[in-house]
Amino acid sequence: MHASLTVRAALVSLLLLGLGLGAWHLAVARSGPAVKMDPEYAKLMGATATQGKSAMPGPGEVGAKIWQHLRDPFYDKGTNDKGIGIQLAYSIARVMTGYLLAVAVAVPVGFLIGMSPLMSQALDPFIQVMKPISPLAWMPLALYTIKDSSISAIFVIFICSVWPMLINTAFGVASVRKEWLNVAKTLEMNPVRTAFRVILPAAAPTILTGMRISIGIAWLVIVAAEMLVGGTGIGYFVWNEWNNLSITNVITAILFIGVVGMLLDQVMAYLQRLISYAD
């Protein structure tokens, strides 16, 4: 039954993909009245001075560009000419650094909040004030104080990743069944042993949910952060290609961003399934 559902879902996905690509192709290939363009602008856009079709690239052009990037993803020809693999590697490295720092802070603090009603009430006003602040609002302050664009981007990833993990950890810890805690007290387990042997296994699914949400937000934010700080990374690549008026490369980068984001989410989903209790 499950395998049959998976096959049918895959067929529907392929059908929707085909319909989407067909609509895209028709939209950009549709001929219209000839439009005169400035010769210099037409040259930059890869069009003729008299344009009768959309300047937006079609799926065939984007597919060819993706293949071109995949054939040599790690070339390095200078500051503004690096392969898509290098750009993604820089972005993933920044995301994982900031994300792991957030894990190191959010999980212990979440445990403290979840286990202590006093600390929960004391820290809640600070969390509620800090949580709604856009991560990119921290970028000017980070650049001013840290004075390093790459570390500033990592800080932004940290600050946007910490809240979902902290809140989910606190909720998971506070939701552990009282009967289990009473058993731990009956067995005279110390707080550290109780945290690792009772609370952590019970709260792990909720903690992983927060971690999964955080990795998605981190990957979302790094693109915008790299557009601001420049240098290297997939966000800077998108901005640089837009400045070069290469819409094909912009769309290609968007697709790569989506695929990497999906893979990061699937890794966290797999870890979540590993620690979830069997039905």
Average pLDDT of the chain?
84
Helix or strand or coil: residue 131? coil
Of the ranges 6-15, 41-50, 74-83, 142-151, which one carries the lowest mean pLDDT score? 41-50
pLDDT per position as a tens digit, 223-243: 888 888 877 889 889 988 888
pLDDT at 147: 84
* R_g over Cα of the chain: 24
- The domain defined by 84-275 folds into MetI-like fold (1.10.3720)
In the DSSP assignment, the letter for residue 54 is -
pLDDT at 274: 84
**pLDDT higher at 60 or 2:** 60
Burial status of residue 85 (CB atoms within 10 A of its CB: 0-12, 13-18, 19 or more): middle
Which residue matches tokens 């979830």? 276
For residues 218-222, average pLDDT? 91
Helix or strand or coil: residue 83? coil
Which residue matches tokens 């809640």? 124
Sequence spans of domains, the chain:
84-275
For residues 178-183, average pLDDT? 80
- Cα–Cα distances (Å) from 275 to 82, 203, 265, 268, in that order, read 39, 10, 16, 11
Name the band, by pLDDT with cuts 50, 70 and 90, for residue 106. Answer: very high
Helix or strand or coil: residue 33? coil
Residue 170 CA, distance from chain mean position:
23
pLDDT at 39: 62
Residue 14 clears pLDDT 90, i.e. is over it: no
Residues 6 or more apart whose Cβ sits within 8 Å of residue 229: 139, 143, 149, 150, 152, 153, 236
List, in sequence order, the alpha helices (H) in the chain.
2-29, 39-45, 59-71, 84-115, 117-130, 139-146, 149-174, 178-186, 191-194, 200-229, 234-243, 247-275
For residues 71-86, average pLDDT? 84
The total number of residues shown for the chain amounts to: 279
Contact 224, 272 (CB under 8 A): no
Helix or strand or coil: residue 244? coil
pLDDT per position as a tens digit, 239-255: 888 888 888 899 999 99
Q: What is the largest CA-CA distance in the chain?
A: 84
Name the band, by pLDDT with cuts 50, 70 and 90, for residue 42. Answer: low
pLDDT at 277: 54
